[in-house]
Amino acid sequence: MRPDTLNPLFAESDTLEGVGPKLRKPLNKLGLTRIRDVAYHLPDRFVQRRAIADLDEGVVGEQVVVALTPFEHRASPNQRAPHRVLAHDAKGNVCALVYFGKAAFTARKLFPPGEVRWVAGRLEQYDQWLQIVHPEHVADTSAGLLGHLIEPVYPLAEGLTQPKLADFVHQALARLPELPEWIEPGLLDRHGWPGWRDALVLAHRGEHQAARDRLAYDELFANALALMLVRADNRRRRGQPLAGDGRLRDTLALPFPLTGAQRRAIGEIEGDLTQTAPMLRLLQGDVGSGKTVVALEAMLVAVEAGAQAAMLAPTELLARQHFDTLQRFAAPTGVRIALLTGRDKGRVREAILMDLLNGTIDILVGTHAIFQDSVAYRNLALVVIDEQHRFGVGQRLLLTQKGKVTPHCLAMTATPIPRTLTLAQYGEMYVSRLDELPPGRQAIDTRVVALDRLSEVIDGLARHLDGGQQAYWVCPMVRGEHEDDDLAAAETRFATLRARFGDQVELVHGQLRAEQKDAAMERFAAGDARLLVATTVIEVGVDVPNATLMVVEQAERFGLAQLHQLRGRVGRGSEKSVCLLLRGEALSEVGRQRLALLRETQDGFRLAEADLELRGGGELLGTRQSGDTPFRLAELEQIQRLLPIAHDDARLLVERDGGLTGPRGEAARLLLYLFERDWGVQLLRGG
């Protein structure tokens, strides 16, 4: 139950005066559905104005507040022409107040001739006139306008104006309750941060860095604390200790020797599995680093210990590929591996469920179907979640509730994430990194080619296909929205290439039906199709060793690490592979740096750090699509600077200061509810 003191903040935003059905829509579009959301809707920037006694003190292009006396209205018979109100200052200098369209009617009411008005707006020069176009504020006295010398500018949605939104924010701030302090006093003093309520008010009034930092820290601290509580709760739970004897792992048919990073990760996982507390570990590995082998070794530890393991993949295609790979590697072990997807029905499904329940299936691979209520295990002891950066903490925990006791959990991602953001997204998990590629893997020859050499590239592609090898051609979108759209569309490129290469070409994109995508992928994987035209649906999980050429059209439109993931679709066999990045004419400096970096290195972790610096966290590693950092207030620079502090403070509160008991703990409990990390509270015994 949310504490009563926070209820005013979680009231609907339509309880604010002036919010009716018409304004509720743009507020909802901005995510401002409750009072709390409105209060935390911080300005993008501030308009700074200067109060001047007369126009001589003003500077053209400056935002000013000045007293003017209107003396003439100059209306135009042409509706498109402006309505001008001529007015003079205390010295007689003349300024035109310019209004367009229907606003002319308002101008007549606002400026009766001979009556002084205080005007706020940008002072401009037009021919011989000084002018202010559509003054932002007009008042009878200075008192009303001098409060607008510093004015916030908020992100808007269609149907909302700055004054309206500013009024709603003002009302929301007036409802803020007094809350006890959850930040450690020494930390508060050291940074010179204001209290919570003052920080919110100050952040809306001007460029107050200390207030902004304090609010960002609150969000980071709430997230870190909730993740710490998950970790602490996990330690208290009883899991099933798993100690393998190596008899199955020693017989694996691996195509290459394990790297040092793989051996290190396997050792860390083995150590976790022997504990009574269930494992919560993240395995981060770049494309081709051998995560599947590490996962198989972990699952065989469970089987050696007399238990079962399950591997969850995000798509049916990837589940089938994992199934095939595991079957191939584990063939000499005699371990029974089964595949279950949503497509399996009737007797096939019933047979799998029966064998799973009686324990004759050791490892189950599949999509979300493997965790439906009807799927029961004899003794599930380990869950492996692949490519689950889309999964939140609550979902990760939910998946581990299928066993009689809490199973161990190994999450895997092929997305190299900078350490700071790993802490933000996976702070409840221990992390193993695979930062070496298996021996024998050749570097991928990465080249940047101007798009005007397209015909040469297609001729080179023809020679490549004639040589018996396969290729990918990736476009940034499915189809052009307009006939003159210059964006490369997969459907258009498919038509062009099919006209040249016939039925050797297949098309895959996200708008196709699942069976169409699967059929195209199966033809390509089997070698019946030589060229696959696609969007980024092939970014992860496609493994065709004979595909040794990747062409990415208009590469500047993709994120750096997204390009790295696409490049990782080739170079998976023993043959030399090439990645061609076709760039358009309009290449920004950031785009140029991004493509240059991709040519220089194939280290995904280095590229991830560089992407973070070049683009900020918003599009890092395609994370706009795959679960960005869970923060609304904290910006990238603040995350990097403040998250380690928040993480350390959360650990102190949980491990040394009694968690959520005591005065500061009770305040921290309010913080978790405030930032909707209350799943952290729910995990507490009696919480």
Q: How confident is the model at residue 393 (pLDDT cuts 50, 70, 90)?
A: low
Categorise residue 288: left if φ over 0, alpha if ψ from -120 to 50, beta otherwise. left
How many Å apart are CA 43 and CA 684, to the nearest integer? 36
pLDDT score at 483: 44
Higher pLDDT, 615 or 264: 264
Torsion sign (Cα): 228, 230, 233, 235: negative
Strands 505-508 and 531-534: parallel
pLDDT score at 525: 86
Specify the DSSP element, H or E, that contains 325.
helix 316-330
Task: Name residue 553's beta-bridge partners.
Answer: 582
pLDDT tens digits, one per residue of 338-368: 999 877 788 889 999 999 999 999 999 998 8
Q: How confident is the model at residue 684 (pLDDT cuts 50, 70, 90)?
A: very low
| 3 state DSSP class of 447 | strand
| Mean pLDDT within 155-181 | 94
pLDDT score at 485: 47
Q: Which CATH class name applies to 445-601?
A: alpha beta
| 3 state DSSP class of 81 | coil
Whether 249-434 and 47-153 are alike in CATH topology: the answer is no
pLDDT score at 618: 39
pLDDT at 580 over 70: yes
Which of 121-135, 399-413, 431-445 shows the highest mean pLDDT?
Answer: 121-135
- CA distances to 24, 504, 511, 579, 612 from 494, rounded to whole Å, are 44, 11, 15, 19, 33
Average pLDDT of the chain is 86
| Ordered DSSP codes for 147-214 | TTSEEEE----TT--HHHHHHHHHHHHHTPPP----S-HHHHHHHTPPPHHHHHHHHHHS--HHHHHH
pLDDT score at 622: 30
pLDDT at 94 over 90: yes
Q: How confident is the model at residue 465 (pLDDT cuts 50, 70, 90)?
A: very high
pLDDT tens digits, one per residue of 135-153: 988 988 887 677 678 889 9
| Mean pLDDT within 290-319 | 92
- Domain chopping of the chain, boundaries: 1-44+156-172, 47-153, 249-434, 445-601
Fill in the amino acid letter for 289: S
pLDDT at 501 over 70: yes
Which residues have a Cβ under 8 Å from the Cβ of 574 and sit 6 or more positions away? Answer: 440, 442, 545
pLDDT at 155 over 70: yes
- CA distances to 2, 56, 427 from 193, rounded to whole Å, are 26, 41, 25
- CA distances to 144, 166, 204 from 169, rounded to whole Å, are 18, 5, 8
Q: How confident is the model at residue 581 (pLDDT cuts 50, 70, 90)?
A: very high
Torsion sign (Cα): 503, 507, 513, 518: positive
pLDDT score at 482: 44
CB atoms within 10 A of CB 636: 18
pLDDT score at 380: 92
Question: Which homologous superfamily is 249-434 in?
Answer: P-loop containing nucleotide triphosphate hydrolases (3.40.50.300)
pTM beyond 0.85: the answer is: no
Q: Is 267 exposed, middle or buried (0-12, 13-18, 19+ CB in 10 A)?
A: exposed
| Mean pLDDT within 528-555 | 85
How many Å apart are CA 342 and CA 101, to the nearest integer? 59
pLDDT score at 248: 96
Residue with tokens 């973070």: 612
How many Å apart are CA 361 and CA 383, to the nearest integer? 14
Q: Which CATH class name applies to 47-153?
A: mainly beta
pLDDT score at 519: 85
pLDDT score at 484: 42
CB atoms within 10 A of CB 663: 10
pLDDT score at 516: 86
Q: How confident is the model at residue 388 (pLDDT cuts 50, 70, 90)?
A: low
pLDDT at 685 over 50: no
Return the percentage of the chain with pLDDT > 90, whole number.
51
pLDDT score at 397: 60
pLDDT tens digits, one per residue of 227-260: 888 888 777 888 899 999 999 999 999 888 999 9
Return the percentage of the chain with pLDDT > 70, whole number.
91
pLDDT at 619 over 50: no
pLDDT score at 28: 93
pLDDT tens digits, one per residue of 7-64: 999 999 999 999 999 999 999 999 999 999 999 999 999 988 999 999 988 889 999 9
CB atoms within 10 A of CB 150: 12
